[in-house]
Structure 1
Amino acid sequence: MALMPKRVKYRKRQRGRIKGNATRGNTVAFGEFGLQSTQAGHISARTIEACRIAATQYIRGTGGKLFIRIFPDKSVTARPLETRMGKGKGEPDHWVAVVKPGTVLFEIAGGTHDAARDCFNRVAHKLPVRVRLVERQPG
């Protein structure tokens, strides 16, 4: 089941522009290893679900735990195909999470560095942004 908010203040949002680096959610907080974005972009709810399935399939045997640190709370609208111009803005089509450079997308608790690297390598192939593996900093 794809992620989406229960309710939002406004159904239709403007696209906007993604500027600057992430100041929040940019450190590993729950697990030992994290997957950090190095590019800005939008990640759809279906992509997040595909990443979740790929990661859980890999860590099922190791006994690790997956943490998803992003949530798709922005609606993206679309017009029906073969519709003439005008007649206003389209209806909400899907939901995306806005990601800035430095945002930690996923985390893994338990397991070794090699296992986390292999798991996140599978996840990275499904993402539309460039990512890197980061470790929890002591302290």
Structure 2
Amino acid sequence: MRTYEIPPDFSDVELPEKPKLKFMEKVPNLKQAKKEMKRLRDIQGPSRTATKFSQGQYGILALGGGFLHWGHIEMMRLTINRSIDPCSMFAVWRFQPPHKPITRKSLGQRMGGGKGAIDHYVTPIKCGRLVLEMGGQLELVQVEAMLKQVAKKLPFPAKVVSRESLALMYKEHAERVSNNQNPWSFQKIVRSNMLGIRKVLSPLDVHNHGRYTGKFFDPSRV
């Protein structure tokens, strides 16, 4: 006699009025466009926002920092909107439209003469931020291949997560920190300034205990 798994209950799932990903403008609507410095700190370290699910059950989690161009946003929007079933699925963005100006000098122009003109706009993404969410009356098997295809094309390492896997990841990290048996942790070595290590570390390395090196993330560091 065969035994079948009980299908999940989606009675509490509410679909939004517009289930597909919204179109994002390539250029922000500003009265006067202002140039900015590089500010690479916008993609360094851990994200403080959009680290937990708000509406959906599945999504794409950034495992490093980087800049999302408008082409990446359109790639995600077209790939997901073509495969989504609006009657039972929905998808939402978890980041702002491109707003950070990137300047560039024209080809063949000599150096000097001030900062170049604004060429395009990007959205900075930090490690640990959810890029998008998907939800509705669906299981991970239905959207996993599509989300993996999108995650591979992003300009930073990313992976597909669910509510359960994301909570488990945070729980495992907390357990590793609390159950760490190694007395020579990165934090203790830096505080004691062993071998004068502080002179080669940035304030960001000290604050994040060496887990984030620039835009890169080291999950093995406790």
Task: Tell me which residue corresponds to 1:14.
Answer: 37
Distance in structure 1 (CA, Å) of the matches to 2:107 and 2:87 = 46
Mark the CA change 1:8 to 1:70 in structure 2 (over 3 Å): closer, same or farther.
Answer: farther
32-41 vs 122-131, greater mean Cα deviation: 122-131
Q: Relative contact order: is structure 1 or structure 2 higher (C-alpha 8 Å, sep ≥ 6)?
A: 1
> Amino acid of the residue matched to residue 63 of structure 1?
S
Task: Tell me which residue corresponds to 1:106.
Answer: 132
Is the Cα–Cα contact under 8 Å of residues 37 and 130 in structure 1 kept in the other structure? yes
Distance in structure 2 (CA, Å) of the matches to 1:10 and 1:115 = 42
Mark the CA change 1:2 to 1:86 in structure 2 (over 3 Å): closer, same or farther.
Answer: farther
Counterpart among 159, 178, 182 of residue 132 in structure 1: 159
Is the Cα–Cα contact under 8 Å of residues 76 and 150 in structure 2 kept in the other structure? yes
Task: Tell me which residue corresponds to 1:42.
Answer: 67
Q: Which runs of 4+ in 1 moved over 4 A?
A: none
Task: Tell me which residue corresponds to 2:107.
Answer: 81
TM-score (norm: length of structure 2): 0.57
Distance in structure 1 (CA, Å) of the matches to 2:55 and 2:115 = 40
Is the Cα–Cα contact under 8 Å of residues 51 and 123 in structure 1 kept in the other structure? yes
95-104 vs 55-64, greater mean Cα deviation: 55-64
Residues 24-54 of structure 1: CA distance to partner in whole angstroms, max 9, x if unpaired? 1111112111111001111112211111111
- Segments of structure 2 that go 5 or more residues without pairing to the other structure are 1-22, 168-222
Task: Tell me which residue corresponds to 2:82.
Answer: 57
Q: Which has the higher helix share?
A: 2
Q: Which has the higher strand share?
A: 1
TM-score (norm: length of structure 1): 0.88
Distance in structure 1 (CA, Å) of the matches to 2:31 and 2:134 = 30
Q: Report the secondary structure of 2:148's partner residue.
A: helix
Residues 85-125 of structure 1: CA distance to partner in whole angstroms, max 9, x if unpaired? 11111111111111110010011112211122112112113
Mark the CA change 1:15 to 1:123 in structure 2 (over 3 Å): closer, same or farther.
Answer: same
> Amino acid of the residue matched to residue 153 of structure 2?
K
Task: Tell me which residue corresponds to 2:196.
Answer: none
7-16 vs 125-134, greater mean Cα deviation: 7-16
Q: How many residues align?
A: 138
Identity %: 26
Q: Report the secondary structure of 2:56's partner residue.
A: coil
Larger Rg: 2
- Note the aligned Cα RMSD (angstroms): 2.1
Is the Cα–Cα contact under 8 Å of residues 68 and 106 in structure 1 kept in the other structure? yes
Question: Deviation of residue 5 (structure 1)?
Answer: 2.1
Question: Deviation of residue 63 (structure 1)?
Answer: 3.4
